[in-house]
Structures are given as structure tokens and as C-alpha cells.
């Protein structure tokens, strides 16, 4: 198979972790007899510096054409003076999500055994944890009207029934391949959008009689995630709540540096990226942990190209690196970013 995708290193540590992921992908293609065709493009701060805009037309055209995007990280304090859509994040990530219809963000929470003791919770509260957060990504408060007037500032949160229905279907479909449980998170005691959310989820659930469904308010979920993590399978929620809950879930895995994410549409269009930021304070020093980026590349293989065996080979090599402490310093190892990529590439 020719694996044709758009590769966007981005800003800060993005190019470093991206290079490590590319090394692993090249080793995978050699092992399994595929060819690799990566279209390199700029986005975010790097694009602002080179092209004067955060999302150049040629970058978006490539993303739309290939339908598979591997992204490093975007943003940094260098561009903090910019406003609104001129900023790296608002001017690139949100338009990519919206214009490519990447409405479903998937983030896993399954702690690696080698990292459980690095998490802030006791081992017995984490062993057996294996859930996925399905976050609606193109609606809600982040995409609503916003501004300021004489009375203050405003951010409008709006959801349509169709937006809720399609993400709910994604969640229930995923649950059918896992433990057949969906936990829908809202704030229906206060918000009208959440009342619509709950109504639609209840309606969608009727088409999935095998799936257990529960509804939790978001404030309760923040507590239950830390005390009953093993109870969850697929957690379904709206954009802002999902943003917060997935960051909370990241600490259960012992490090944000090992968590990939996928933002997908219908079909096989998807954008794959680590959940960590651009970490400009360590950029260029070889300290950046590339595991989340490498695992994001594995997700790309699985979800956009249907290459389950190849993705699993990469994931097994990452787990082996963790067990052998062939990692960067943040995870107790002594390797630099590039060396970690080389080690995993040799062990795919």
C-alpha cells in the first residue's frame, strides 16, 4: 500500500517528535512492504513566520486531498501578541477541524503498566482502567459567536440536534466494539444545550439495546473519573467539557507524553496528534518525549488506512521501550528524542 498523508510538524517540539515518528513509520513500511509518501507542510506559528498566515492554502489543500494528517504541535509565546484568528491555534486548528468536518475527537485512557506508579492515584485505583473519551469537536462554545460590547464579553454555546446525533452514533458504534457501555456527560440541570444533548443521546440509545447507557453531570464526572476510573468504557461529551475531561484523564496515564488523539470525520478522513502542547521551553534540546506522536502515527495507520497489524507493531514497540526504560528523561530514561525514535524503529 502507498501510505500518502500530510505531515505537519508545527511549532516548538513538533518537528523533533515528528522526526522520531517519521523514523518509526519508515521502519514500519520497510518491514511490511508498504511505501510512504508524506507531503510536508507548514501550519501555525511556523506558517506565520514563513507565509504570513497560520493556515496556508497549500497546507489545507494537501490535508483535504490526502484525508490523513499527522500533526506535531501548534503555538508558543512568540505569537502570543497576535489576536483572534491571527493566532496559530485559532487560525489553524479550528479551521482544519471545521472545514474537514473532523467532528469526533477520540482520546484513550489506558495506563501502560510501566507508568502506573508515575500517576498520582494509587495503583489499585488505576489497574484495569481502559476507557475512551469521544468529544464533539466542531460545535459548542468554541465555535459560537463571540465578542465584546458595552455590557462585557460573550461566547455563545449552540448545538443542533444533528450535531449531537452524529457524535452519539460514533460513540455507540465504538462501544459496540468494546465493553458496550456509554457514559454521556452534560450539564442538563443548568444548560439548555445539555438538555438537548441528553434528549438526543437517549433517542440514539434506542438503536443500541446491547449498550448500557448512563448520564452524568460534568461536575460529578470530574470526581468519578478519579475515583471509579475502571468503571468507564466510552465517555461521550460536548466540546468544552471534553477538552477539560481529557486533560484530567491524561494524568491517570502517568504522563501526557504518551497519549495520542484522533480527530475524525465520516469515512477515513482524520487528523492525528499528541495531546501535549508545543513545549517551547525544551524545543531543540532533545528532551521532548516522542511517544505520543509515535502512537498518533499508529492511530493514523489503523483508522485512515486500515492497517491494524502495522499499528499494533508500533504500539508493542512503544510498550517495550517503556518496559526497558528506553525513553527520555521525563519517563526515567536517558535517551534523547531521536534515540527513542531509533530504538522503537529497530523494535517494530
Q: Report the catalytic residues.
A: 142, 187, 219, 243, 247
Other C-beta atoms within 10 Å of 309: how many?
A: 9
Q: Is the CB of residue 66 less than 8 Å from the CB of residue 267? A: no
DSSP 63-118: HHHH-EEEEEE---GGGTT--GGGSHIIIIIHHHHHHTT--EEEEEE---GGGGGG
Residue 34 phi/psi, 5-degree rounding, is: -100, 175
Other C-beta atoms within 10 Å of 247: how many?
A: 13
Q: Which residues have a Cβ under 8 Å from the Cβ of 6 and sit 6 or more positions away? A: 38, 39, 41, 59, 62, 63, 65, 66, 68, 69, 70
- CA nearest neighbour of 5 among 27, 44, 47, 35: 35
The DSSP H or E segment spanning 165 is: helix 161-176
Amino acid at each position: 500500500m502507498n501510505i500518502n498523508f500530510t505531515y505537519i510538524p508545527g511549532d516548538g517540539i513538533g518537528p523533533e517528535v515528528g522526526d522520531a515518528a517519521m523514523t518509526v513509520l519508515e521502519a514500519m513500511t520497510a518491514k511490511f512492504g508498504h511505501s510512504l509518501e508524506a507531503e510536508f507542510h507548514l501550519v501555525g506559528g511556523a506558517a506565520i513566520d514563513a507565509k504570513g498566515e497560520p493556515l496556508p492554502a497549500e497546507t489545507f489543500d494537501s490535508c483535504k486531498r490526502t484525508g490523513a494528517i499527522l500533526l506535531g504541535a501548534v503555538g508558543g509565546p512568540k505569537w502570543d501578541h497576535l489576536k483572534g484568528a491571527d493566532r496559530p491555534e485559532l487560525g489553524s486548528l479550528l479551521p482544519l477541524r471545521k472545514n474537514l468536518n473532523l467532528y469526533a475527537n477520540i482520546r484513550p485512557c489506558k495506563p501502560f503498566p510501566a507508568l502506573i506508579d508515575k500517576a498520582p492515584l494509587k495503583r489499585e485505583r488505576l489497574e484495569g482502567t481502559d476507557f475512551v473519551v469521544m468529544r464533539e469537536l466542531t460545535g459548542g462554545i468554541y465555535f459560537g459567536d463571540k465578542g465584546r460590547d458595552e455590557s462585557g464579553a460573550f461566547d455563545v454555546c449552540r448545538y443542533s440536534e444533528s450535531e449531537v446525533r452524529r457524535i452519539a452514533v460514533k460513540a455507540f458504534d465504538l462501544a459496540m466494539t468494546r465493553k458496550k457501555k456509554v457514559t454521556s456527560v452534560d450539564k442538563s440541570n443548568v444548560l439548555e444545550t445539555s438538555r438537548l444533548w441528553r434528549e438526543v443521546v437517549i433517542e440514539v440509545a434506542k438503536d443500541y439495546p446491547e449498550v448500557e447507557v448512563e448520564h452524568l453531570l460534568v461536575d460529578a464526572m470530574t470526581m468519578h473519573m478519579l475515583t471509579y476510573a475502571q468503571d468507564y468504557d466510552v465517555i461521550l461529551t460536548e466540546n468544552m467539557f471534553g477538552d477539560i475531561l481529557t486533560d484530567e484523564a491524561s494524568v491517570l496515564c502517568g504522563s501526557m507524553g504518551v497519549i495520542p488523539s484522533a480527530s475524525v470525520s465520516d469515512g477515513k478522513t482524520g487528523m492525528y496528534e499528541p495531546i501535549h502542547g508545543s513545549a517551547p521551553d525544551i524545543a531543540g534540546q532533545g528532551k521532548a518525549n516522542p511517544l505520543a506522536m509515535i502512537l498518533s502515527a499508529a492511530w493514523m495507520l489503523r483508522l485512515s488506512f486500515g492497517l491494524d497489524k502495522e499499528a499494533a507493531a508500533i504500539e508493542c514497540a512503544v510498550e517495550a521501550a517503556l518496559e526497558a526504560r528506553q525513553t527520555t528523561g521525563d519517563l526515567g530514561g536517558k535517551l534523547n528524542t531521536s534515540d527513542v525514535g531509533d530504538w522503537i524503529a529497530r523494535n517494530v
